[in-house]
């Protein structure tokens, strides 16, 4: 997706992945305005046109939050110093934000906002409602925010509500069961966990190094040091169960996510077609109640990590 870090695929490989995914029944693609500084969105648009995918056969989920830079991989902590105007979150011109997508897709996209706990619900929900009313997007969803506050405000004030909640939820991090999942259940919103494999942490034995573990800033960003003992124990049990069942660790982690009634569909990513094939097979694998209990048994409460990578305390 226009190389920004070493593990990110280039355009040619990205197009192969998207074609393979679509041909095997995957019709919902998750991206964001800032992924590869807009490169991800552009490649999605190219794939749809190049492979002649009918507009009523797919859904694009995008996010509005960070600043999209003019140059891919451009560094600098303060975008305003570069002379950017209206590039922050929903201050961006929606037409400029969405122009990277196919022209026929702008009214059917799903727009998500990673909301700050310091931002009042009025500003966020009114802005998202305005984008829907203008016809730029069809639905909105929440991504890693205090969902109850936002959703309740929208419904109480007749604004467009979230139809889905995208959250950090996997077998080694279940804090979402306290507020996010009950909120989704109450309001009838779908749950689509992101990073279900925790950037590959649950897909391979601990200590295994890959291009991504060496270069992904968020994978290496472990506040306080190594993962918590309970997290490592769960990872160990995922590996044990995978070996016992003749499954991959990724399939076990995915099967756990799919076993939860609140989960509509987990979001997964891959940089290899073989890994994508493995994940597709994993959709059809089931864990027994005893296996689920075995995986969950070591879990202890953890601090809320939000967009952090691997829980450590």
Just list the catalytic residues: 35
Q: What is the DSSP letter of 118?
A: T
Residue 112's φ and ψ, nearest 5 degrees, are: -120, 150
CA 142 to chain centre: 11
Q: What is the DSSP letter of 38?
A: G
Q: What is the DSSP letter of 248?
A: -
Residue 204's φ and ψ, nearest 5 degrees, are: -155, 155
CB 252 within 8 A of CB 287: yes
**The pair of three-digit structure tokens given for residue 186, joined into one six-digit string:** 């109450």
CB 306 within 8 A of CB 168: yes
- Could you tell me the CA-to-CA distances from 217 to 87, 145, 214 in Å, in that order? 23, 22, 8
How many CB atoms lie under 10 A from the CB of residue 55? Answer: 12
How many CB atoms lie under 10 A from the CB of residue 170? Answer: 23
Residue 140's closest CA among 121, 159, 119, 158? 159
- State the chain's maximal CA–CA distance in angstroms: 58
Residue 196's φ and ψ, nearest 5 degrees, are: -65, -25
Residue 194's closest CA among 5, 35, 17? 35
Residue 195's φ and ψ, nearest 5 degrees, are: 55, 50
**The pair of three-digit structure tokens given for residue 35, joined into one six-digit string:** 């992924």
């Amino acid at each position: 997706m226009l190389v920004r870090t070493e593990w990110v695929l280039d355009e040619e490989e990205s197009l192969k992945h998207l074609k393979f995914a679509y041909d095997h029944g995957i019709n919902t693609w998750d991206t964001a305005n800032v992924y590869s500084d807009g490169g991800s969105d552009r490649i999605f648009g190219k794939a749809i046109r190049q492979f002649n995918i009918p507009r009523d056969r797919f859904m694009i989920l995008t996010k509005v939050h960070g600043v999209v830079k003019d140059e891919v991989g451009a560094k600098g902590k303060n975008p305003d110093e570069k002379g950017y105007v209206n590039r922050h979150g929903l201050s961006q011109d929606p037409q400029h934000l969405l122009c990277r997508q196919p022209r026929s897709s702008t009214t059917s996209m799903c727009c998500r906002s990673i909301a700050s706990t310091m931002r009042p619900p009025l500003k966020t929900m009114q802005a998202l409602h305005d984008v829907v009313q203008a016809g730029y997007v069809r639905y909105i969803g929440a991504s890693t925010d205090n969902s109850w506050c936002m959703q309740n405000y929208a419904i109480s004030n007749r604004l467009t509500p979230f139809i889905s909640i995208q959250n950090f939820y996997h077998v080694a991090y279940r804090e979402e069961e306290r507020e996010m999942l009950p909120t989704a259940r109450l309001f009838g919103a779908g749950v689509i966990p992101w990073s279900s494999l925790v950037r590959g942490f649950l897909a391979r034995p601990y200590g295994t190094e890959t291009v991504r573990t060496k270069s992904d800033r968020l994978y290496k960003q472990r506040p306080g040091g190594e993962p918590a003992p309970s997290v490592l124990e769960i990872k160990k049990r995922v590996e044990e169960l995978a070996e016992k069942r003749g499954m991959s660790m990724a399939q076990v982690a995915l099967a756990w996510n799919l076993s939860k009634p609140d989960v509509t569909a987990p979001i997964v990513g891959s940089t290899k077609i073989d890994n994508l094939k493995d994940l597709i097979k994993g959709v059809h694998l089931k864990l027994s109640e005893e296996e689920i209990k075995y995986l969950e048994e070591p879990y202890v409460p953890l601090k809320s990590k939000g967009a952090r990578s691997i829980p450590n305390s």
